[in-house]
Amino acid sequence: MQERSNPVSRNYAEALLALGTKAGDREGFGVMIRDVANVIAQDATVKLFLESPRVSYERKNVILAQAFGDRVPRVFLRFLQTMVHNRRQMMIPEIATEYAKLLDAEEGRVHAEVTLARPMTDAETAGIGAQLSRVLGKKVLPQVTVDPAIMGGIIVKVGNTVMDGSVRRRLSKLATRMRAIA
């Protein structure tokens, strides 16, 4: 089942994508919003500071301006400050996720969860991505995990679609057929 997007997060992500497009740096804006989301997730002090009702939004925005200074485009900083002003700063992780989804859709990219029985080299992973891209007609970004239990072959999951070419599945089907015959 596909998880539903929060409409508020999606609206902010759409606004940020428009800003990134206008600035000519959609990928860069995606990296910046993801970095801010990661800091919130990993640094308890930052998270507490942002969610504290005792700190005014004006003070938070001053601190944001000091922290980011010239490190981010002014329009990106203003976006963050607007979120703080609207008390939406704790939605930054959701907005980062929505932004990535929107950007992938705009760029014609899909993410594929690829499960293999053994580790692959970067070249082999790139080859799998290229083959999947040809089959699906979109740029596929493979995210590889290793699970020796599949014994061999490959399992690919794109969205809700699963393509199971594992040896484990083939053996299971063979065993089912053999039981049906016996």
Per-residue pLDDT of 166-176, as tens digits, reads 998 889 999 99
- CATH number, domain of 64, equals 1.10.520.20
Identify which of 149, 141, 147 has the alpha carbon closest to the alpha carbon of residue 111.
141
Q: Are residues 51 and 21 in the same domain?
A: yes
Domain count, the chain: 2
Q: Are residues 52 and 92 in the same domain?
A: yes
Q: What is the pTM of this model?
A: 0.75
Which residues constitute the domain of residue 170? 108-181
On the 0-12 / 13-18 / 19+ scale of CB atoms within 10 A, 104 is middle
Give every residue of the chain whose pLDDT is below 50, as ranges: 1-2
Q: How far apart are CA 34 and CA 40, in angstroms?
A: 10
Inter-axis angle of helices 74-85 and 7-23, to 10 degrees? 160
Which residues have C-beta within 8 Å of that of residue 22, sequence separation ≥ 6?
75
**Residue 141 is assigned to a structural domain of this protein:** yes
Phi, psi of 82 (to 5 degrees): -65, -40
Helices (H), 43-137: 44-51, 57-68, 74-85, 92-107, 122-136
Q: What is the pLDDT of residues 80-92, one digit of tens each?
A: 999 999 999 999 9
